[in-house]
Amino acid sequence: MKIARLTASVGVVAIGALVLAGCSNPYESDVVENSEITVAYNEGFFHFNDDSAAGNNTSNGNIKYMTDTNFGYYDNTPEWVHNTDFGSYEVVSEDPLTVEYTITADAVWSDGVPIDESDMLLEWAAISGNVSEAFAPAATTGYNLITTTPETGDKTITFVYDEPYVDWELVSPLGVSAHGTYALAFPDEYADVQAAWDTYAASGEQGDWDAYSSAAKTFAETAKQNVVDAITTGDATVLEALGTAWNTAYGYTSLPDSPAAALTSGAYTIETTVEDEYTTLVANPLYTWGPSPKFERITVRAIGDSTTALQALQAGELDIWTGQPTADILAVAEGIENAEVQTGVQASHEHVDLTVNNGGPFDAATYGGDEATALAVRQAFLKVIPRQEIVDKIIVPLNPDAEVRNANLVSAADTVRYPLLVSTNGSDAYADVDVDGAIQLLADAGVSTPVEVGFWYPEGNVRRGQEFELIAASAAQAGFQLVDQSEPNWEFTDPEANPINPHDAVIFAWSQTSLAVGGSDQIYACYTDPLAKGGNYNGYCNQDVSDLLLTLNTTSDYDAQTAILEEAEAGIWSDAVTIPIFQFPGLLVSSDRVTGVEIMPLSPDYFWNFWEWAPVESE
C-alpha cells in the first residue's frame, strides 16, 4: 500500500465541526485531508477487548490504544500523564482509600452515545471479579480490592478500596462500551439500530448517519440502565449474557456486521481489518477530548518477517516499523537511506513457561501425582535452555551490553532490587547449561528418555524460531525431544478455547505496560477457575507465592515491598515453572515522510504518541 504524497496545498479537515458547540474547551482538528500512513507490527489484530483474557495481546492493545480514551497514559520518559482533556480523578479519602473519577469532557462513543458512568461501572464489574464469574478478564489486580459496588453519578464513579492499593493511580476505568456490550448480548433488542446502521453503511449519507446515531442514543438509554441494574442487583441471567459478549463477541478478524462490536471512545475508529494482513483506522469525526491526530488514516500491517518489513519501508510502502530484530536486520535498517533508526532497551522480557496441569511431562499427574518427580523433570529442562548462547548469538549483536536476565519480578533497570533478588533467588543453578546435571536429575527421578515436549512459539517469528532451534539442540543432549507446535494465533491464551494450555512449553515475552509495583499476581497467583486465569497460562500455583504477591499490591513501604519481592522471587525459581532469558533490545525505524516518531520502552511501544505523527509535505 503506497503512502499518499502530500503537497503544500493540502488543507486541514474540519472534522468534528458538528459537535464543537457542545465542548467546554475549544477544539481544532489538525487532521490533514487525504493523509495516510502505513505502519507495521509483527502480529495482526484479532480482538477488540484487550481487557479480556482472550484479547490480552500487544497487537490488540496497539489498536485499542489509538481508538480508546482513558484518564492517563505513559509518555516515553516514562512518566504517567493525566489526560485532563477527558476527565479527572482525585483521592477523596485516605481511610478507606476512596477515589472519584469524573468525565469532564462532552465525550461520546463513535455512534454519538455519551460516555458515562455506566461504561465505567461495566469496566469495574467485568474486571473486578466481584459481580459475576461470567466475565474472564486478563487481570483483576486493583479492581479485585473494590468489593463494594461503586457509587455512580452523572459521569462519575467512586471506588472504595478494601485495602490501600499501591498502584491506584494506574486504574483507569474505561474499556468497551456498556450499551455496545448489551447490544452484543441481546442483538434482538438492537435490531432497529442495526437496520439504521445497514442503511447508512450502504449509502454513506449524512442524513442516514444522523438516523443511525439517533436510534443508537434511544437504544442506549435503556441498554445502559439495564447494564447498571444487572450489576447493582446481581441479575445472573443478564450478567451471564453480558459476560459472554464481553469475553467473546469482540473477537474478530474481519469487521463484524454489528457496529456495536467496534464502538470507539478515542481519536480513531476501525475502518476495516483483514486477518493477519492489516487493520485500517480512520479519524473519528466526533473526537474532541484530546490532542488531535494529524493523519486521516493509519493502516497497521501485520508483518512477522523483519526483512519483509524493512523492504517495504525502503520501497515507500511502509513508514514505521519495530519488531524483534537480529543483527542482520539491524544492518539492513541502518542501510536504508532516508530512514531514522532508533535503538534502546525495552521493558519487555523473553521467557519460557512450563505447563504444570495439562498431563504433559511437567505435570505431577503424569507421574501419579508425584510432585517431586515433576519438579525434577522441570529442573532438568530448565538446565538445558542455552540462555547465554541465545543472548550471545541473537541479542548481543543488537545490544553489546546485553546480559541474561535472572529475575522474574524486576528488571536490571532496578539497580537496587535486581541484584538483591538475583543473589538470593536460586537462579545461579541455571547460570550455565548443565547437560550432565539434567541427565542425572531424570535418572534419579526414574524418568526414561526421550521426554517429549510440545513446544510453542509464534509461527513466523524469525527470532523465536532461532531460539527454538537452539533450545531444541541443547535439550536433545539430555534426552528431551522438542515437538514444534508453533502456530500464529496464540490460542493457548484464550480461556474459552483452551481453559488448559495444550502446550508443554511456550516462549514469549511479558510486555510491561506500566511502572506498577504490583500486578505480578495476574501471572503467578493461583486460580481456581481456568476461565479466570488472567496471564497464568501454565497452571502454576504456589499458595505462598500467591499470597505474597497479593500482599504486595497493598504494601506501600519500600523495604517491605523489597522483602516480599525477594521471597516471592525465590519461591518461583524453586518451583522451576518459568525462566527469564533476556530483556528486549529496541529497534525503531521510520521514514523521512513522517515526523514525531519516538521510541518507547513500555507497551504500546512507538504507538504511545500517535497523535504527534505528522506527514512531511512534498514539494
The tens digit of pLDDT for each residue in 346-385 reads 999 999 999 999 999 999 999 999 999 999 999 999 999 9
Residue 496 is predicted with a pLDDT of 80
pLDDT of 17 strictly over 70: no
Cα–Cα distance for residue pair 325/462, rounded to 1 Å: 8
Helix (H) or strand (E) holding 470: helix 462-476
Q: Where are the domains of the chain?
A: 17-66+262-345+592-615, 348-584
Residue 323 pLDDT = 83
Joined together, the cell numbers standing for residue 13 give 479537515
CATH architecture for segment(s) 17-66+262-345+592-615: 3-Layer(aba) Sandwich (3.40)
Per the structure block, which three cell numbers stand in for 542? Answer: 504456589
Q: Would you say the C-alpha torsion 502, 458, 3, 619 has a positive or negative sign?
A: positive
Do the beta carbons of residue 243 and residue 126 sit within 8 Å? yes
Distance CA 453, CA 321 (A): 34
Amino acid code (one letter) for 539: G
- E strand intervals along 329-393: 339-354
Task: Give the SS3 label for residue 252.
Answer: coil
The predicted structure's pLDDT at residue 288:
96
Tens digits of per-residue pLDDT, 447-502? Answer: 999 999 999 999 988 899 999 999 999 999 999 999 999 998 889 988 888 989 99
Q: Give dist(CA 367, CA 606) in Å, integer.
A: 47
Edge-to-edge strands, sheet with 339-354: 268-274, 278-283, 295-302, 32-41, 320-322, 578-591, 339-354, 505-510, 451-456, 480-484
The mean per-residue pLDDT over the stretch 311-315 comes to 95
pLDDT at 460: 84
Q: CA–CA distance from 494 to each of 48, 191, 352, 509, 523 (Å)?
A: 14, 29, 18, 16, 15
| CA distance linking residue 136 with residue 495, whole number of Å | 8
Instruction: Answer yes or no: is pLDDT of 78 > 80.
Output: yes
- Strand bridging mode 295-302 / 278-283: antiparallel
Please answer whether residues 425 and 407 qualify as being in contact, where contact means their C-beta atoms are separated by less than 8 angstroms.
yes
Q: What percent of the chain has pLDDT over 70?
A: 94
Which numeric CATH code is attached to 348-584? Answer: 3.10.105.10
CA distance 304 to 46: 15
Question: By percentage, how much of the chain surpasses pLDDT 90?
Answer: 86
Whole-number Å distance between alpha carbons of 31 and 168: 34
